[in-house]
């Protein structure tokens, strides 16, 4: 996505920046629900990209990540319905999964369709604040919004880059789900891969709670899903949930924390 914006950056350097931004996202309450502006800020400070280009790249990548999210969740959901009726205990999670899968792309599409009206609304909303502070001006806000829209348009025109990014998104989601499959094997349990593809996206909904990285809520959701959908007992489900979070969250915190310290020193 940064290449589309004309930003040339070494992949090795960008990996470190990405992990540092992910660390900040993971330790911030509700970071998973709206960490894009902060990640864009880190990228703009640590690369030659402007904030507008960084934000457009990050938001586009996040929207592309919804495609494998919806695909894998849909496949797992269909497999559940084919085998039996959906357990009542996980109906709220399944409903939230459907709402998120449909709602986010719909909101994004509506926002883009009415982007002129949205831009005018933002400018009007910031006008009272601009009159009270010398740091913010209405013209400056309008100019930044135009630059951000232009960055999105550049990315949208490059279909090849979007296809490449989408491919990486699918590969990434597979590797994000596989640790749960391996965690079940580690405690001597078996878990169908199709079920894993449903449980992982469904459990990420718990990451929307106001705790760093959804700590506590994600583990509880994972345990509930495993107990409800598999023959695993509660003790085994708890062990699987903890092992998965160590692999997918704690490990990322350790690596990302080291990367964040390195980026601070590098800057």
pLDDT tens digit sequence for 220-237: 888 888 888 888 899 999
In the structure encoding, which two tokens stand for residue 227, read together?
């107990």
Count of structural domains, the chain: 1
- Average pLDDT estimate for 240-261: 90
pLDDT averaged over every residue in the chain:
79
Is residue 33 pLDDT above 60, yes or no? no
With a CB cutoff of 8 Å and minimum separation 6, the contacts of 212 are 26, 27, 28, 29, 31
Closest CA to 60 of 147, 151, 122, 141: 151
Which DSSP string do the residues of 46-72 spell out, in sequence order? HSS--HHHHHHHHHHHHHHHHHHHHHH
Closest CA to 16 of 256, 267, 230: 256
Q: Give the model's confidence band at 34: pLDDT under 50 very low, under 70 low, under 90 confident, else very high.
A: low
- Are residues 229 and 87 in contact, defined by beta-carbon separation less than 8 angstroms? yes
Q: CA–CA distance from 94 to each of 20, 78, 87, 89 (Å)?
A: 32, 11, 10, 10
Whether 126 maps to a domain, the answer reads: yes
Is residue 97 pLDDT above 70, yes or no? no
Inter-axis angle of helices 159-186 and 193-204, nearest 10: 110
Q: Name the least confident of 42-51, 75-84, 157-166, 186-195.
A: 75-84
The gap from C-alpha 230 to its chain's centroid, in whole angstroms, comes to: 27
Percentage of the chain modeled with pLDDT above 90: 10
What 8-state DSSP symbol labels residue 86?
P
Backbone torsions φ then ψ of 190, nearest 5 degrees:
-115, 145
The gap from C-alpha 151 to its chain's centroid, in whole angstroms, comes to: 20
Is residue 12 pLDDT above 90, yes or no? no
Whether 202 maps to a domain, the answer reads: yes
CB atoms closer than 10 angstroms to residue 227: 21
Q: Give the model's confidence band at 248: pLDDT under 50 very low, under 70 low, under 90 confident, else very high.
A: confident
Backbone torsions φ then ψ of 252, nearest 5 degrees:
-65, -35
Whether 183 maps to a domain, the answer reads: yes
Whether 29 maps to a domain, the answer reads: no
pLDDT for res 91: 64
Q: Containing domain of residue 222, as a range?
A: 60-249
In the structure encoding, which two tokens stand for residue 259, read together?
């990367």
Residue with tokens 């001597």: 188
In the structure encoding, which two tokens stand for residue 54, read together?
């960084």
Q: Give the model's confidence band at 179: pLDDT under 50 very low, under 70 low, under 90 confident, else very high.
A: very high
pLDDT for res 236: 92
pLDDT for res 31: 55
Separation between Cα atoms, residue 265 and residue 38, nearest integer Å: 19
pLDDT for res 106: 78
Closest CA to 195 of 231, 249, 233: 231
Q: Give the model's confidence band at 210: pLDDT under 50 very low, under 70 low, under 90 confident, else very high.
A: low
Whether 182 maps to a domain, the answer reads: yes
Whether 20 maps to a domain, the answer reads: no
Whether 230 maps to a domain, the answer reads: yes
Whether 204 maps to a domain, the answer reads: yes
- Average pLDDT estimate for 5-20: 81
Q: Give the model's confidence band at 136: pLDDT under 50 very low, under 70 low, under 90 confident, else very high.
A: low
Q: Give the model's confidence band at 239: pLDDT under 50 very low, under 70 low, under 90 confident, else very high.
A: very high
């Amino acid at each position: 996505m940064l290449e589309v914006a004309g930003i040339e950056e070494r992949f090795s350097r960008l990996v470190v920046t990405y992990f540092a931004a992910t660390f900040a996202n993971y330790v911030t309450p509700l970071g998973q629900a709206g960490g894009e502006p902060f990640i864009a800020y880190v990228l703009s400070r640590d690369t030659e990209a402007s904030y507008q280009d960084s934000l457009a790249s990050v938001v586009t990548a996040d929207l592309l990540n919804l495609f494998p999210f919806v695909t894998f969740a849909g496949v797992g959901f269909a497999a559940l319905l084919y085998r039996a009726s959906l357990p009542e205990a996980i109906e709220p999670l399944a409903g939230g999964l459907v709402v998120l899968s449909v709602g986010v792309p719909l909101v994004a599409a509506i926002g883009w369709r009415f982007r002129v009206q949205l831009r005018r609304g933002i400018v009007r909303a910031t006008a009272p604040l601009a009159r009270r502070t010398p740091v913010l001006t209405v013209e400056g806000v309008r100019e930044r919004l135009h630059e951000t829209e232009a960055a999105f348009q550049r990315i949208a025109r490059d279909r090849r880059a979007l296809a490449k990014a989408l491919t990486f998104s699918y590969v990434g989601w597979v590797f994000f789900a596989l640790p749960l499959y391996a965690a079940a094997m580690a405690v001597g349990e078996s878990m169908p891969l199709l079920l894993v593809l449903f449980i992982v996206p469904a459990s990420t909904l718990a990451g929307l709670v106001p705790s760093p990285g959804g700590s506590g809520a994600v583990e509880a959701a994972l345990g509930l899903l495993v107990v409800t959908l598999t023959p695993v007992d509660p003790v085994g489900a708890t062990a699987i949930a903890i092992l998965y979070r160590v692999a997918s969250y704690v490990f990322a915190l350790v690596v990302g924390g080291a990367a964040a310290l390195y980026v601070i020193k590098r800057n």
